[in-house]
Structures are given as structure tokens and as C-alpha cells.
Copies of this chain bind each other. A is one copy, B any other.
Amino acid sequence: MPNEILALAGGVGGAKLAWGLAQVLPPEQFLVVVNTGDDDEFHGLHVSPDLDTVMYTLAGIVNPATGWGLADDTFTVLRSLEKYGVPTWFNLGDKDLATHLRRSELMKHGASLSQATEELCAALGVKHRVAPMSDDPVRTSLLTDQGVLKFQEYFVKHRCEPRVTDITYEGADWSSPSPAFADALETARAIVFCPSNPFLSLQPILELLGVRKRIAAFSGPKIAVSPIVGGEAIKGPAAKLFRELGEEPSALAVAKRLKGLCTTFVLDTVDRALAPQVEALGMRAVVADTIMTGPEDKVRLAKLVVDLATR
């Protein structure tokens, strides 16, 4: 759809800005493309954690205490699965399981992840479009001091504790962007990098076949919001990963990773001093209050982003 804003997102942080954008943009002017490098199979079911976080957030049913999962969920199935001796460290609520069951059933019968996502979103009343980054399987895995860990092993089972020395995005090299994503890369009026983990949420998207090149060549505004504020990640292991991979975590370090891909970089007021160095990377630096606590914060940040995308 021409003139849409294309947002690239991971989990909780991305979902928050996506929610804000959905409040200020009509459905046909917004597409959120979500990382699927975190996807995995649990108990035979296809689980897409970031897609679900975005979908549940836009549907207004996300667990507000965690930012992911469903509000007031129970864990009866998981407790029963324990009796069958299978690993149950990945927390799947009963209500949440219905999503994985339905998605897996649709895919078992031939639906792509895009089609399954569209059907799930429609059923949950999500009006804005949500698409996976790819319909092909891309799997993020991390080389750590405890060996190679699949994303969810690292993130959930080991609580991001192992020291990471390298990250791979298995399958990305030969995986195409999903149809909606590929279209939007042609027709969007702007691209937004949500404040998501640079290594674990945005990088898998950039690693897809042709995506980095196409974003570099994209002629409209490309706006990023820093997920690192005051040298720390709002949520998740981004800052720890920067350190382990040999760089001081900062909004500037995030901007460096987006050099040539981003025209406008939004950094938090506390990082105001970094603005000149960000501008030296060839992008405009915009200083704003980026912390999204309540709905007003999300809408305010979304309005700023839309404003930057429209200029």
C-alpha cells in the first residue's frame, strides 16, 4: 500500500512504538514487520514470540506486567507436559497456547507464516497490518562461553547470562523478505527502526536476502529510535551484548550500526551530548523523550516519528 509507514520491530520495545503508531495512523498507512529470528518449535508447535508480542500489544490483550504473553494466563497444559518429561523452561500459557495451536495448524495445512499471522490478527481484531520479516525460517543463535545456544535457549533458559562472542542468523542469507515486507520496501513513504535490540531484533531483518541493500537505496525518510538510553537498554540484553562484543553500549553505538541505513536518529534527552557524533555519521540527530511508560508516552513518540516521516 503506497504511502504507508513501514516499521521494523522486535518484541516488547518495538511493540510499544508500534502500538503508538497504530493510534495515530489509519490501518492502510501502517505496516509493522516483525523479527522472526526468535521463532522456535516447542511441543511440536511453531512459536513466534516477537510476532505474538506485537499482535497481542496491538490487540490490547498483552500482559501489562511483562509486555509479552497474555494477561491473566494460566499454565495448566505446561504443568501437564512436565509429566511427560519434556523440557518446559519456555513458559507457554494456556491462552497463549491457543495462538500457537492455531498458527501451527494453519501452517501444517499449507499457510505461510504471513497468512497465518494475518488470520490470527484478524481474529483478534488487530486492524493494522502485522507481517513476519520472512516466510522462510531464519533462526538466530549465539556462540557463547556455554556453547552454541539457540535464541530462546540463550534468552529464556539461560536468562541471557552466558557471555556471547558471536551471533548468527541461520537461514537469513537465503531467506526472502515476506511479501508484505518486500512490497513495502518499494512503496512505503518512510521506514522506522523501532527501539528494538540491534543484534537480536533488527539485525535478523537486515540480514535477509537483499534487505540491507534495499533499505540503503530507499529514498524516503528512514527514522531510528535508540533502544539504548543513558548507556543502558530499556529492556533486555542489548547493553550486555554491546559490551561482550567489544563496544561501549550507547545510542551512538546503535547509530553506528545503522550508518548508511538511517537518515534520522532519535536519541533520548539524556543522550543529548551524543547528537553531534551521531550527526557526524551522516544522519540527522533528533533529541526527544523516548521512554515509553504509559500510553501517552507511546503516542507522543509515535507522533514525533510520524512527523519526521512526513517532512
Contact = CB atoms under 8 A, between A and B. Distances in A.
A84 to B, nearest CB: 4
B76 A94 contact: yes
Interface in A79-133: 80-81, 83-86, 94-95, 97-99, 101-102, 104-105, 108-109, 119-120, 123-124
A86 to B, nearest CB: 7
Given A76-B74, A76-B76, A94-B76, A102 B123 contact: no
A311 interface: no
Nearest to A44: B105
Main SS at interface, chain A? helix
A308 interface: no
Contacts of A95: 76-77, 80
Interface of A: 43-45, 74, 76-78, 80-81, 83-86, 94-95, 97-99, 101-102, 104-105, 108-109, 119-120, 123-124
23 contacts: A43-B101, A43-B102, A44-B105, A44-B109, A74-B74, A74-B76, A77-B77, A77-B94, A77-B95, A77-B101, A78-B98, A80-B94, A80-B95, A80-B97, A81-B102, A83-B98, A83-B124, A84-B98, A84-B123, A85-B123, A86-B102, A94-B94, A97-B97
6 shortest interchain CB distances as A-B pairs: A44-B105, A80-B98, A76-B94, A80-B95, A84-B102, A81-B98
